[in-house]
Structures are given as C-alpha cells and as structure tokens.
C-alpha cells in the first residue's frame, strides 16, 4: 500500500533517463563539450561540409528559411527532447516547415508566368506549387493524427515494467517514428525540384531573365498647330506597345522608342497635297519623361 505523503514519481521518465544517461543533468555538460569539440574538428580538419552549408543557406533561401524556422521551434522546446515522445513529435515540426515552403511556392507562383526564381541560377516550375501545397497539408494532418494516437496509446495501454520495455515502441509510436523520417525527407525534397536556369533556357529556347512590359510613348505633333490652332496646352498623343520583352523597364523603353522612331507614326502630319519628295517629313516631339514602361503581372 502506497504511503499517503510519498510524492509520486514519473516512472517512465526515471527509467528512460537510466536507459539513456546522456539525457540526465549530470551528462549534459559532457554532451555539450563533446559537441563543441566535434564542431571544432569539423572546422579545422573538414571545412568542406561547413563551407557547403554556409553557401547552401543563402543560395536556397526560400527553403532554408523554413528549415531555420523548424530549428528555432525545436530550440525553444529543447526540454521536450528529454523524453522519447519529444523526439517522435519532431515529425510535426518537419511537416510544418514543409507547409511553410509550399505556401511560399504557391504565393510566388501567382506573380510569374511559368518559373519561380530561387536564386540567380535556380528556378522552380510553378506547376509544382499545387502538388506541394496538397501533399504538405496532407502530411501535416497525418502527422498530427498519428501523434495524438501515439500519445493516447502509450499513456493508457503500455505498462512500464523494465528498462528494456521502456525502449520498445508501441504500434502507433512506430508509425510516428516512420513519419519523422518521412517528414524530414519531405522538408528537404524540394531541392530535387529546383532546375538550373541554363538548362531551362536550353529546353525552352527562351531567356528567363526577359520580362514582359507594356510601354506607353507620349508625343506631340507641332504640325497640328496649322490646322487646329495654337493652344497653351498642346494636344499630346500616345502610342502603346504591348508584350515588350526586356530585362529592365529602361531597356523596354529604349526598344519601344527605337521601333516607334522607325515607323511612319514618328513623322509629323503632312497632308497628301503638301507631300513632296524633296521635303522629308519632320519628327514629332518626344521627351523621355513621356515614356512609361510597366511590367505585366504575368511576366
């Protein structure tokens, strides 16, 4: 019979700490020093992986930001890793990071025509955005459900008798452990979907750096004064060029202006009866401030 004033102990927690001693408070400093020494060895003798990691983070920023968010979420709840269930619950964190990237891909795909820029050399086909968002939310829902079932089954149906039994996983905990690996792979899988810009350009025959612009060129025709009379606010005309392919708005303006100046529309108005071969037509008046270029929303 239990003593009435004796405090109850968490049998699972005590047995689990005995089974894995590095999770106890006494071993935490030793574990921390070991990790620090290992990091020092990597920096001094194996800098390759560290350099790759340092280059990977800014290069694949749309994916590394969700990964860093997952690490921060785990870090603020680091005490949960002192129990086995805390490690199994990592599947929810990995799945939430996958959801974050999928949402970014879906939103970014709405403002481009075909390819989403990851960096200057890598792109992602926007057709992957919908499958990513469906699988991400599906994986997150399944991980959450399996976590609830695993906790319920472990707390009600598994008696703790010995250290060897404490290390064994229940049926739902085994499923949850599988989803830890599956969710981690899903979080890192989008890297396989990234394509080289040069490869895509070679396949499509188009430059991905070109954008589509609508250019408006305003101009004045002084010859109208002879027929419409002079005015303090002269009539200003406009010509519009659509789907102008260029890298920048200034390049689109220059390209459209060149086309306009080579056309008959750039000449001042001359009636048919006044046209002679020895009198070439004069140019209309154009100022740079009258030329406007706007990027098409689907470019």
Give the per-residue pLDDT at 33: 58
Domain that holds residue 68: 11-204
Same domain, 108 and 251: no
Domain boundary among 162, 182, 204: 204
CB neighbour burial string for 24-41, b if at least 16 within 10 angstroms, e if fewer? eeeeeeeeeeeeeeeeee
Q: How far apart are the first and last CA of the chain?
A: 77
- Categorize the per-residue pLDDT at 245 as very low, low, confident or very high, splitting at 50, 70 and 90: confident
Same domain, 108 and 167: yes
Same domain, 127 and 145: yes
Give the per-residue pLDDT at 160: 42
How far apart, in whole angstroms, are the C-alpha atoms of residue 288 and residue 218?
9
Give the per-residue pLDDT at 121: 85
For residue 240, pLDDT over 80 is answered with yes
How far apart, in whole angstroms, are the C-alpha atoms of residue 55 and residue 51?
6
What integer is the mean pLDDT of 231-259?
83
In a domain, residue 5? The reply is no
Domain boundary among 204, 236, 262: 204
For residue 104, pLDDT over 90 is answered with yes
Q: What percent of the chain has pLDDT over 70?
A: 68
Domain boundary among 145, 173, 204: 204
In a domain, residue 223? The reply is yes
Same domain, 93 and 25: yes
Give the per-residue pLDDT at 67: 86
In a domain, residue 65? The reply is yes
Selected residue with higher pLDDT from 222 and 162: 222
The tally of CA atoms less than 13 A away on the side-chain side of residue 73 is 16
Same domain, 146 and 243: no
Q: Which of 98, 200, 183, 195 is closest to 146 using CA atoms?
A: 183
For residue 208, pLDDT over 80 is answered with no
Residues 146-193 have pLDDT tens digits of: 888 888 766 544 444 444 445 566 677 888 888 989 999 999 899 889
For residue 99, pLDDT over 70 is answered with yes
How many domains would you assign to the chain?
2
For residue 125, pLDDT over 70 is answered with yes
- Categorize the per-residue pLDDT at 6 as very low, low, confident or very high, splitting at 50, 70 and 90: low
Same domain, 85 and 149: yes
Looking at the chain, list the stretches that DSSP marks H as alpha helix, in order from N- to C-terminal side: 11-19, 28-45, 47-59, 61-75, 84-88, 90-109, 129-157, 163-167, 171-188, 197-204, 225-228, 249-261
3-state SS assignment for residue 279: coil
Give the per-residue pLDDT at 298: 55
- Categorize the per-residue pLDDT at 130 as very low, low, confident or very high, splitting at 50, 70 and 90: very high
Selected residue with higher pLDDT from 265 and 98: 98
- 209 near 246, Cβ under 8 Å? no
Same domain, 130 and 266: no
- For residue 8, count other CB atoms closer than 10 A to its CB: 6
Give the per-residue pLDDT at 95: 93
How far apart, in whole angstroms, are the C-alpha atoms of residue 205 and residue 187?
32
Residues 49-86 have pLDDT tens digits of: 555 556 666 777 888 888 888 888 888 887 777 777 78
Same domain, 173 and 43: yes
Same domain, 61 and 173: yes
Q: Which of 166, 173, 180, 168 is closest to 152 using CA atoms?
A: 173
- For residue 212, count other CB atoms closer than 10 A to its CB: 16
Same domain, 140 and 288: no
């Amino acid at each position: 019979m239990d003593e009435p004033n004796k405090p109850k102990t968490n049998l699972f927690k005590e047995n689990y700490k005995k089974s894995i001693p590095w999770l106890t408070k006494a071993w935490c400093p030793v574990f921390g020093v070991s990790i620090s020494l290992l990091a020092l060895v990597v920096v001094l003798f194996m800098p390759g992986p560290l350099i790759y990691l340092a280059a990977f983070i800014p290069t694949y920023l749309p994916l590394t930001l969700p990964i860093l968010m997952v690490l921060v979420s785990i870090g603020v709840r680091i005490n949960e890793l002192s129990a086995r269930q805390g490690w199994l619950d990592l599947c929810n964190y990995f799945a939430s990071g996958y959801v974050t990237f999928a949402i970014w891909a879906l939103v970014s795909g709405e403002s481009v025509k075909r390819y989403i820029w990851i960096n200057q050399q890598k792109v992602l086909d926007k057709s992957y955005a919908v499958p990513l968002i469906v699988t991400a939310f599906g994986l997150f829902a399944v991980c959450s459900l399996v976590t609830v079932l695993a906790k319920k089954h472990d707390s009600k149906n598994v008696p703790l008798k010995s250290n060897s039994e404490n290390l064994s996983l229940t049926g739902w905990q085994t499923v949850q452990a599988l989803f830890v690996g599956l969710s981690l792979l899903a979080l890192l899988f989008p890297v396989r979907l990234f394509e080289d810009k040069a490869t895509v350009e070679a396949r499509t025959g188009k430059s991905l750096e070109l954008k589509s612009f609508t250019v408006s060129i305003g101009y004045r025709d002084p010859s109208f004064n002879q027929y419409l009379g002079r005015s303090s606010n002269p009539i200003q005309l406009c010509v519009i060029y659509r789907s102008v392919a260029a890298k920048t708005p200034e390049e689109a303006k220059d390209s459209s202006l060149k086309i306009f100046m080579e056309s008959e529309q750039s000449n001042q108005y001359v009636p048919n009866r006044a046209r002679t071969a020895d009198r070439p037509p004069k140019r209309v008046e154009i100022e740079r401030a009258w030329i406007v270029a706007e990027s098409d929303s689907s470019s």
